[in-house]
Amino acid sequence: MPLLVVGSIALDSVHTPTEAREDVLGGSAVYFSYAASYFTGVKLVGVVGEDWPAEHTEMLKGRNVDTQGLEIVKGGETFRWTGKYQSNMNDRDTLEVHLNVLEDFSPTLPEDFRRSPFLFLANGAPSTQMKVLEQMTGPKLVVADTMDLWIEIARDDLEAMLKKVDGLVLNDSEAKKLTEDENLVRAGRKVLEMGPKFVVLKKGEHGAMFFSEHETYVMPAFPTEQVVDPTGAGDSFAGGMMGYLAEKNDFSPSALKEAMAYGTVVASFNVEDFSLEKMKKIERAEVDARFAEYRQMLSF
């Protein structure tokens, strides 16, 4: 089934303890789209500037990503993010953020995008996420991401949005901030009480936790010694997860658990190189092979 994603499209500059890359393809919606494209067709909505390299659009089209919703602002510049990872490759500092065209982004969905049964609202202002939701006609599954910034400056909008979505994906520090609880199990359950039917709490190198009314479980990250660039790990996790759910057209507890595992596996590939480089080198078969390895790893 078609999967719609609305989110940021970026040109990232990434510094790791050993290497750096300038103006490489990034952004939540881009990582999400590529990760989901192993499983299903993706409809992408986002905004870029005139400086946007057309080759990126072509690359996404080649992955069965519908780019009709890609708005190119005349005279505008694409959103840019510069970050530096610490030696543990898990903590990072944002050195520069230039919102550029993202600042006034007000997504308008192409007519046939509005009927997409699966929707992912990548990190963005909760008010913008709501505007997208209002344009949809009867989606089957809506999952949103958020970040600490919105907890700080738009908490009311965020709480209103949480009552409208089926699922929320957020990271551990965000969950602690949102609930003011340092225990991740309690924090996850408190987020659940704020509205979503399920919550996925991402713990970076330590994996992810799932919370629903009847289930609480943890899945570890796939152990990899080759962590080159963690940028986009969370978005590729969400892309793998939502892509699998859309492919199966099923979000039963068992499908959600398999989707969590697929998200874990796709994210584990993504961190093995800068930007989308590693994901570009692999096909669905490699994803399935690592999924089988991961399942075996957790069975005893």
Give me the residues that bind a copy of itself (CB under 8 A), please.
Answer: 87-89, 182-186, 189, 203, 205-207, 209, 216-221, 223-225, 227, 254, 257-258, 260-261, 295, 297-300
Cα–Cα distance, 250 to 42 (Å, whole number): 17
Q: How far apart are CA 79 and CA 246, in angstroms?
A: 28
Give the list of residues 6+ apart from residue 222 with CB closer than 8 angstroms, or none: 264, 265, 267, 268, 290, 293, 294, 297
Residue 100, both tokens: 């550029």
Indicate the residue among 119 and 221 with the shorter CB distance to a copy of itself.
Answer: 221
**Judged by CB, which is closer to a copy of itself: 285, or 298?**
298
For the bound state, the minimum distance from the C-beta of residue 243 to a copy of itself, rounded and expressed in Å, comes to 16
CB of 245 to a copy of itself, least distance (A): 13
- Burial label for 195, CB within 10 Å (0-12, 13-18, 19+), is middle
Angle formed at CA 115 by CA 111 and CA 120, multiple of 5 degrees: 105
Give me the least distance between CB of 179 and a copy of itself, in Å please.
Answer: 12
> Measured from the CB of residue 199, what is the shortest distance to a copy of itself in angstroms?
13
| Nearest CB to a copy of itself, comparing residues 122 and 271 | 271
Q: How far is the CB of 299 from a copy of itself (least distance, A)?
A: 6
Helix (H, G, I), strand (E, B) or coil at 51: coil
Judged by beta carbon, residue 68 or residue 183, the one nearer a copy of itself is 183
Complete DSSP assignment for 202-250:
E-GGG-EEEEESS-EEEEPPP--S--S--TTHHHHHHHHHHHHHHHHT-
Cβ proximity to a copy of itself: between 59 and 218 the closer is 218
Residue 183 CB, nearest distance to a copy of itself (Å)? 6
- Cα 249 to chain centroid, rounded: 19
Q: How far is the CB of 194 from a copy of itself (least distance, A)?
A: 17
Question: What is the spatial distance between Cα 198 and Cα 147, in angstroms, rounded to a whole number?
Answer: 17
**Closer residue to a copy of itself in complex, CB, 150/262:** 262
Q: Give the nearer residue to a copy of itself in terms of CB position, either 169 or 259.
A: 259
3-state secondary structure of 96: strand
